[in-house]
Amino acid sequence: MLANKPLVFLGQFNWRARLFYPSGPATKDKRSQAIQLVKILCEHAGRNHPLDRYKEAFFFAGENGIVEIVEELAETFPDILWVTNGDGRNIFHVAVLYRRGKILDLVYRIPKAKRYMIRAAPDRYKNNILHMAGKLPSLNEIGCAALMMQREVKWFEEVTEFVQPFQRGEKNDEGKTPEELFDTEHQQLLKQGEKWIKSTASACAIPSVLFATLVVPSTFAVLNIQQSYKIGKHADFVGSFAALAVLTLITSLISLFTFLSILTSTYTKADFLNTLPRKVLTGLNSLYFSISFTTLGLSWLICRTLLGPDMMLFMGLSGLATIPALWFLASQHVLGKMVFTHFARTEERHPLLFTRSLPTTFQTQR
């Protein structure tokens, strides 16, 4: 029953858990109580019940990413790591298939003598563990096709480093290597991701064009006003406004050219991991600064010509002027996730052993 309730085990260091499921005392108590209950059940199971009775719960926990249940069952029944489901897949096949990185990390906590054999074992269709990474999972978890494609490529590369070199060229019953299976399974997702990223780039290019075309005439308009009304005492503000206008023009053009390069390019799966995030980061940053420089220049113009050289007032207006830029960034949170996923570091894995239930001869192996 607990194996089907992953929310009970949300950790206090999971930012999504803290955001959507407040980690107050009640939540922490429920998590600790659930873990304690699992430990008690596993200790009782080791004394009174056979291994096969917990096979279903073991795989349900693996599919849902509940590492506490998987770990406790593996401590109680070390041989459960060798148990396979109806498709001939062990817990690590399931972890890769369902994209459960923490479950996959548990392979480093068993002796090296057995670690290799578990990683190299194929399922009943001759799919090795890298073939599992090539299969397309459910698309319900992530709505954006481009972000989904990026995470799929990153996961496949991570599992590629995890397996033995000879496994990368192994073929399954269909005669496909893991990479060929990945390309076949993700062909439609690749097209959807490319379509989404180009439509988003097109939408982001519109404000870049507007700022680039409006900043030059607005600057000349300010110069004409100064000459017509001879506001010499405010001559210093014209230079500041012109400098902000130049910065707006430069950042707008950088943003425009970046998004145009996204629109006119054809992408492979590797581009979703490297090229696209860099272009998106450049385009978003330059457009953000373009919006900021524009609103900052207008605030400076209003303060110096209409309200006087009140620095506190200027700072207040500048603060309000940043709201459009912040709103724009918030509206493009999916692109932000793509950039974050690209630069996020993969967690390091440390080879620790299960020690509670393993024979003494295995506890010293590493």
Residues with Cβ within 8 Å of residue 69, at least 6 apart in sequence = 2, 3, 9, 38, 57, 58, 61
| Residue 178 binned pLDDT confidence (cut-offs 50, 70, 90) | very high
Mean pLDDT, the chain, rounded, equals 76
Q: Are residues 81 and 223 in the same domain?
A: no
11: left (phi over 0), alpha (psi -120 to 50) or beta: beta
Lowest mean pLDDT among 210-224, 275-289, 352-366: 352-366
Q: Are residues 130 and 98 in the same domain?
A: yes
Q: Are residues 224 and 282 in the same domain?
A: yes
Percentage of the chain exceeding pLDDT 70: 67
pLDDT of residue 75: 82
User: Hey, what amino acid is at 302?
Assistant: I
d(CA 221, CA 29): 65
Could you identify the residue written with the tokens 């012109």? 242
Q: Are residues 353 and 303 in the same domain?
A: no
Q: Are residues 107 and 134 in the same domain?
A: yes
Residue 279 lies in a domain: yes
For residues 72-79, give the mean pLDDT.
82
Residue 210 lies in a domain: yes
How do residues 303-326 score in pLDDT, each as one tens digit? 766 655 556 666 666 667 677 767
Residue 258 lies in a domain: yes
Count of domains forming the chain: 2
Q: Which residues of 211-240 are buried (b: 16+ CB within 10 A; e: fewer)?
A: bbeebeeebeebeeebeeeeeeeeeebbee
For residue 175, the 8-state DSSP code is S
Q: Are residues 129 and 96 in the same domain?
A: yes
Domain harbouring 30, CATH code: 1.25.40.20
pLDDT of residue 5: 52
For residues 233-262, give the mean pLDDT.
81
Does 27 have pLDDT greater than 60? no
Q: Are residues 129 and 148 in the same domain?
A: yes
| Residue 362 binned pLDDT confidence (cut-offs 50, 70, 90) | very low
Q: Are residues 286 and 163 in the same domain?
A: no
Q: Are residues 51 and 107 in the same domain?
A: yes
Q: Are residues 159 and 92 in the same domain?
A: yes
How do residues 40-49 score in pLDDT, each as one tens digit? 777 776 666 6
pLDDT of residue 37: 78
pLDDT of residue 344: 65
Cα 17 to Cα 6, 11, 32, distances in angstroms: 11, 7, 15
Residue ranges making up the domain that contains 250: 197-331
Residue 107 lies in a domain: yes
Q: Are residues 100 and 182 in the same domain?
A: yes
Residue 342 lies in a domain: no
| Residue 300 binned pLDDT confidence (cut-offs 50, 70, 90) | confident
pLDDT of residue 363: 41
pLDDT of residue 309: 58
Residue 341 lies in a domain: no
Residue 337 lies in a domain: no
* pTM across the whole model: 0.75
Residue 58 lies in a domain: yes
Does 6 have pLDDT greater than 70? no
Cβ proximity of 108 and 354 under 8 Å: no
Q: Are residues 117 and 224 in the same domain?
A: no
